[in-house]
Amino acid sequence: MEKIIGLGNALVDVLARLKDDKILGQMQLPKGSMTLIDETKLLGINDFLSTKTTKLSCGGSAGNTILALANLDAATGIIGKVGNDDYGHFFKKKLKKLGVEDKTIISPDRPTGIASTFISEDGERTFATFLGAAASLSSEELSSEMFKEYSYLFIEGYLVQDHDLILQAIELAKGAGLQICLDMASYNIVEENLEFFKLLLTKYVDIVFANEQEARAFTGLKPLEALEELGRICSIAVVKVGAQGTYIRKGTEIIHVPAIPVKSLIDTTGAGDYYAAGFLYGLTSGLSLDKCARIGSLLAGNVIQVVGTTLTPARWEKIKQGVNEVKEISAVPDAE
């Protein structure tokens, strides 16, 4: 199996379920978005969270994807930056436990980044992200050694605040022969950084992941039309349409794979990240696009049934059984 390395904001998620969305309005957090916040707003959010039951998990979009891949026993690594604090130690301990090659750097003077994650009653999640140490990862701290022996670099779109970092990572990865995978991250991030996203996709990205809102923010088009445009500029384009499943385009081939049935949607945190993990697991295992998408849907469908992105060992065993069943499928539906 080929190896995958992730590059992203190394964060710890602090998750809280909401009875109503009042706090989102008070904190000027658009529902379903990711908003970068400063320390002052973080203190206000912490005051609110201190009255709620919260849950911790390793976060960051790339972190979620890489940890999910590691739970499938894939060979993985991650590049990021954390603080020398309890949250940073929590993050690195999780990497070690799952056998992820840890290329995270410790900041001596900045705290680990925190993603305050608000889960609405309908399962939608809204992030207020204080980047902390994650934002101090610089292009100068990257080296060609970090990318050796890997086949894919997975970049989270949330990193677009640092153009130099992304471009340096891509240059080093391309020089080492890696393919570049990009998750668009959030519709508001795409809207605010549209020209840079266009540069990345047209010049560097081999595989792009987007949900319906992100695809529309990039193209201004509906899912299938957006898929066509994305598929013209990337080798593989993936557009996720929630309960309606996923559309994938490679060249002239277009595939639709339905989402798996879900008994109860609890929290959509990490759904896109887990989908990417499943899809890339299939790709690095040499499976067809149809099977890649089915494994992606399997992972996404499981993570939305729990709070946060941490699944129990028992659930991972069931997922692995499902992955093996997908691998054994001998015939796939005709492409649409």
Q: If you ran DSSP here, which 8-state letter would residue 192 be given?
A: H
Across the chain, mean pLDDT equals 92
The pair of three-digit structure tokens given for residue 219, joined into one six-digit string:
């193209």
| pLDDT band, residue 127 (cuts 50/70/90) | confident
Contact indicator for 299, 275 with CB cutoff of 8 Å: yes
Is the pLDDT at 200 greater than 90, yes or no? yes
pLDDT of residue 331: 53
The radius of gyration of the chain from alpha carbons, rounded to an integer in Å, stands at 19
* CB neighbour list of residue 73: distance below 8 Å, 6 or more residues apart: none
**Which has more confidence, 301 or 330?**
301
| pLDDT band, residue 335 (cuts 50/70/90) | very low
The pair of three-digit structure tokens given for residue 106, joined into one six-digit string:
């410790």
pLDDT of residue 336: 40
The pair of three-digit structure tokens given for residue 305, joined into one six-digit string:
């049934």
pLDDT of residue 319: 95
pLDDT of residue 332: 46
| Mean pLDDT of the 109-136 span | 91
pLDDT of residue 78: 97
| pLDDT band, residue 243 (cuts 50/70/90) | confident
Number of Cβ within a 10 Å radius of residue 265: 15
Q: If you ran DSSP here, which 8-state letter would residue 325 be given?
A: H
Phi/psi at 86 (5° precision): -60, -40
Query: Residue-wise over 34-54: b if at least 16 C-beta within 10 A, else e?
Result: bbebeeebbeebeeebeeeeb
pLDDT of residue 56: 85
pLDDT of residue 1: 77
What is the distance in angstroms between the CA of the first residue and the CA of the last residue of the chain? Answer: 29
The residue extents of the domains of the chain are 4-8+61-109+132-327
Q: Which CATH superfamily groups domain 4-8+61-109+132-327? A: Ribokinase (3.40.1190.20)
**Chain segment 66-108, per-residue pLDDT in tens:** 999 999 999 999 999 999 999 999 999 999 999 999 999 999 9
The pair of three-digit structure tokens given for residue 308, joined into one six-digit string:
């946060």
Q: How far apart are CA 334 and CA 318, in angstroms?
A: 27
Q: Find, among 286, 60, 1, 6, the residue nearest to 173 by Cα.
A: 6
Q: How far apart are CA 279 and CA 294, in angstroms?
A: 8
Backbone CA torsion sign across 216, 218, 219, 224: negative
pLDDT of residue 314: 94
The pair of three-digit structure tokens given for residue 182, joined into one six-digit string:
């990009």
Give the best-scoring range by mean pLDDT among 156-160, 191-195, 261-265. Answer: 191-195
pLDDT of residue 58: 86
**Chain segment 184-196, per-residue pLDDT in tens:** 988 989 999 999 9
Report the range of poorest mean pLDDT among 25-34, 87-96, 138-147, 220-229. 25-34
Q: How far apart are CA 127 and CA 118, in angstroms?
A: 6
Is the pLDDT at 36 greater than 70, yes or no? yes
| Mean pLDDT of the 295-307 span | 91
